[in-house]
């Protein structure tokens, strides 16, 4: 059987085979650029605020994989994080809440509705095993009224997980995902949005916003599907779900136009080495900066502790988040490290 190191190399080889060069559009605010479709570059999508994407993706990938990992000695024994079983009855009865189910999967409870983000209940196919089990049998989750998809990468869009959820939920996605999802779930209701477009459902408004990332599932579909983050707006609360993104000026624009926000769910893991990851993956310090830009009250971390994707030790992101929060004079009440399966309730 192929060893784990080779499987990981193959996984990233598929992802980073080629990343096209992109030049910055003229200086306008991000929403104006998006309304003018500056991120549409037929047949692909681009990040309009980047001067260029990483040129020579394959060569940079090989440089990364052939370089020594400065964290190697710290990664010998994967850490064991506690896993809680969510109290479903309490979640359904107590009020608005955020339940961290691992990696980028959050169960968001707002106005009596259940929203699930980037559902991944199992391993990532051939390439990665979960270091932490999903906190409960997936079929014990209440059927979500809405499932939000941020982008097409395997650790955010999983075939088996969608099949478990089935056609009862409404799937909201960036452009380009509808046909793919309907191949998996023929009866699925799928709404695709472009950046800054909105869709309202049962009293909640879902706004797709830009993220500085990219998409691919095969060597032939690079950036053919759009990626993004989501802002959920209810009568009393706003919750931002970043999906996967590097730090960029969009956060400040979102905060000025749509803030303040009650909660921002931001990635804190998958960021080393910085020379390779920085444009598309935030580190914990940048997550805190994005949190402040968004004018949010509570930071809910995601993208940590489940899959060993990059060079940093799996227990470094939560430690680095706590240090970054202290440096920004943010209390633990505003930056809670919600445990896997744990629930944070809005006041």
The DSSP result for 90-148, as a single string, is: HHHHH-SEEEE-STT-EEEEETTEEEEES---S-BTTTB--SS--SS-GGGSPPPSEEE
Round to whole Å and give the CA distance between 214 and 228.
9
Highest mean pLDDT among 70-74, 209-213, 220-224, 275-279: 209-213
pLDDT per residue as tens digits for the range 230-280: 999 999 999 999 999 999 999 999 999 999 999 999 999 999 999 999 999
For residue 25, pLDDT over 60 is answered with: no
Of residues 296 and 42, the one with the higher pLDDT is 296
For residue 13, pLDDT over 90 is answered with: no
Could you confirm whether domain 81-345 is CATH 1.10.40.30?
no
Round to whole Å and give the CA distance between 73 and 70.
8
- pLDDT score, position 6: 56
pLDDT per residue as tens digits for the range 169-184: 999 999 999 999 999 9
Query: What is the chain's mean pLDDT, rounded?
Result: 91
Dihedral angle, C-alpha 142, 135, 230, 92, nearest 10 °: 40
Q: Residue 80 burial (CB < 10 Å; 0-12/13-18/19+)?
A: exposed
| pTM confidence score | 0.92
């Amino acid at each position: 059987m192929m060893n784990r190191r080779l499987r990981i190399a193959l996984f990233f080889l598929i992802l980073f085979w080629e990343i096209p060069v992109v030049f910055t559009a003229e200086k306008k605010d991000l929403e104006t650029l998006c309304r003018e479709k500056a991120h549409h570059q037929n047949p692909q999508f681009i990040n309009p605020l980047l001067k260029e994407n990483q040129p020579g993706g394959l060569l940079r990938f090989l440089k990364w994989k052939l370089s020594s990992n400065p964290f190697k000695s710290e990664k010998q024994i994967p850490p064991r994080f506690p896993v809680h079983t969510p109290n479903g009855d309490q979640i359904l009865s107590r009020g608005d809440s955020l339940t961290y189910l691992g990696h980028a999967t959050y169960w968001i409870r707002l106005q009596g509705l259940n929203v699930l983000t980037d559902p991944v209940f199992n391993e990532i196919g051939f390439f990665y095993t979960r270091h932490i089990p999903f906190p409960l049998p997936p079929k014990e989750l209440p059927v979500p009224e809405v499932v939000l998809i941020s982008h097409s990468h395997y650790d955010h869009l999983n075939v088996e997980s969608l099949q478990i959820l089935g056609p009862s939920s409404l799937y909201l996605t960036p452009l380009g995902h509808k046909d793919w999802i309907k191949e998996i779930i023929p009866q699925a209701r799928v709404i695709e949005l472009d950046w800054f477009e909105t869709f309202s459902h049962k009293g909640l408004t879902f706004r797709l916003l830009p993220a500085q990332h990219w998409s691919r599932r095969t060597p032939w579909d690079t950036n053919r599907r759009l990626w993004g983050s989501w802002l959920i707006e209810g009568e009393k609360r706003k919750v931002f779900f970043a999906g996967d993104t590097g730090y960029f000026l969009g956060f400040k624009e979102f905060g000025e136009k749509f803030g303040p926000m009650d909660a921002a769910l931001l990635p804190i893991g998958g960021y080393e080495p910085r020379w390779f990851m920085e444009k598309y993956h935030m580190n914990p310090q940048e997550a805190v900066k994005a949190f402040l830009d968004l004018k949010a009250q509570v930071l809910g971390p995601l993208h940590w502790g489940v899959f060993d994707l990059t060079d940093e030790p799996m227990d470094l992101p939560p430690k680095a988040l706590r240090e970054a929060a202290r440096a920004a004079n943010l209390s633990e009440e505003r930056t809670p490290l919600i445990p896997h399966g744990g629930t944070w309730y809005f006041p």
